[in-house]
Chains A and B, each alone.
Chain A
C-alpha cells in the first residue's frame, strides 16, 4: 500500500478522532474555567478557611499526575459503586486538573491589578462583589489571556491521555490504525503532524484574540508586571 493510499484511509479516521480531541479539550477547558476563576477569587478575596481549602485543592491537583487522577476516577470510583463513563471520567479528571492550573493563572492576573482599582470602585459605592464583577474580573481575564492560551495548547496535547481509557480521540484512532496496518512510523508521524497544524492554527487564533481584546494602556501594565 502506498503512502497516498494509506493516507486516504487514515485521514478520515484521524478526523473523527480529532473532533473528539476537540470536544474533550473544549469541555475540560470550560470545566477548568468554571473552577479556576472562582477558585482564584476565593484565594485572593475569600475568608481564611476558604483560602486554605482552595490552596489545598490546587496543590493536590498540581502535585499528582493527571493520569493518576484519571485512573482514580475511572478505575477507582467503581470500587465504591460509582461508575462513570470513559467520557465523563475524562471530563471530570482533566477538567478538575485544569481548574487548578487556571486558578493559578487567574490569581496571578488578579494580583497584577493595582489595589487602587478596588479602592476606587468601593469609593463610588460599589459593594465588594460588584467591584469584583465589574472592575476586577474584566481586567483579570485580559491579563490572563497569554497564560490561558498556553493552557489551551497544553490541553489539546494532554487530552491524548484519555486514549488509555478507550476514549476514541486522535491517539486512540492512531493505535487502532497501527494495529490494523502495522505502520507505526507513518501513523504516528501523521498524527503528530495533525497536532502540530491544529496547535499552530489555534496559536494564531489566540494571538488574534489577544490583540482584539487589547485595551490601550492595559497591555503595558501586563507586560510590565
Chain B
C-alpha cells in the first residue's frame, strides 16, 4: 500500500455538548493519506458525533477541523463544496427512497458536479459495478436488501471521488449474513489506498486492513495504536477489556 505522510484530516481540540452532556471533550486526531482508522468504544461515547464533526453535519462547539488543508470550521469556508470530497456512509443507509439505485448515485454528479446526464450515467454505472450491483441499477431502495442498499450508498459516495471516506457503523443495521458483502467492498477500498475513518465493531476488518485503532470512551480518546498492539497487548487494562469483549462477539 502506498503510504505518504500527507495529512488528509486534522482534528484539533473539538468539543461538542448536547445540553448538559459533553459528548466530545476536546478530541485531537490526525489522519494521513491511505490510513484506515477504526474508531471503537462503547455506544454513546461520541464516535458518530466525531465523524459528523469532520464533515460538519454536526457543527462542533469549539475546536478546528481541516480536511485536505481546508479548515471546515472556518465560517468563510464553502461547506457544500468541501463536503463533495468527503464521502459518508450511514448506519441506516439513507438512500434517497424516491430514486432508483442509478439515480441515487447520479444525483450528486448531475446536481453538485454539474456533469451532463450521459456522462453521469456512465460514471454511476461504473461505481455500481465496482460494488457489484450494476444489474440492480433500476431498483428502488425498497427493492434492495440491506447489504445491497449499503453498497449503493457506498457507490453514491465513491462517485463523488472523495479524498476520505467516513463510515458510521456501516454494518450495524445489517443481518449477519449480509455483513460480509459490505465488508468486502470496504476492504477493496482500503487496499486500493482510500483514506478511511470507520466507526465499527467489526474487529476482523480492523485486524485485516486498518492501520490504527482508536479506542474512545466518554468523549475522550482513551488509547490508540496499531491493530496489532491494540488487539494483542494494549497499554491500558480498559482497552484490553473492551476489545477483548468485542473480539469474542465478532
Contact = CB atoms under 8 A, between A and B. Distances in A.
Interface of A: 114, 116-117, 119-127, 130, 134-135, 138-139, 142, 215-218, 220-221
A124 B97 contact: no
Nearest to B149: A217
B97 A126 contact: no
Contact of A125 (B83, B94, B97, B143): B83
B163 to A, nearest CB: 13
A116 B87 CA distance: 15
In the A-B complex, the 9 residue pairs with the smallest Cβ-Cβ separation, listed nearest first, are: A217-B142, A125-B84, A120-B94, A216-B142, A116-B94, A124-B108, A123-B88, A125-B112, A125-B83
B90 A124 contact: no
Interface centre among B83, B94, B143 (most CB of A within 10 A): B94
Of B97, B156, B160, the most chain A CB neighbours within 10 A belong to B97
Contacts, number: 83
A138 B94 contact: no
Interface string B36-76: 00000000000000000001010000000000000000000
Interface of B: 55, 57, 80-81, 83-88, 90, 92, 94-98, 107-108, 111-112, 140-143, 153, 156-157, 160
Contact of A134 (B111, B153, B160): B111
Given A124-B107, A139-B98, A217 B140 contact: yes
Nearest to B140: A216
Contact of A117 (B83, B97, B143, B153): B97
Contact of A122 (B83, B141, B160): B83
B180 to A, nearest CB: 24
B116 to A, nearest CB: 17
Contacts of A117: 94, 96-97
A139 B84 CA distance: 23
A220 to B, nearest CB: 7
A134 B143 contact: no
Given A125-B108, A130-B111, A120 B80 contact: no
A142 B98 contact: yes
B92 A114 contact: yes
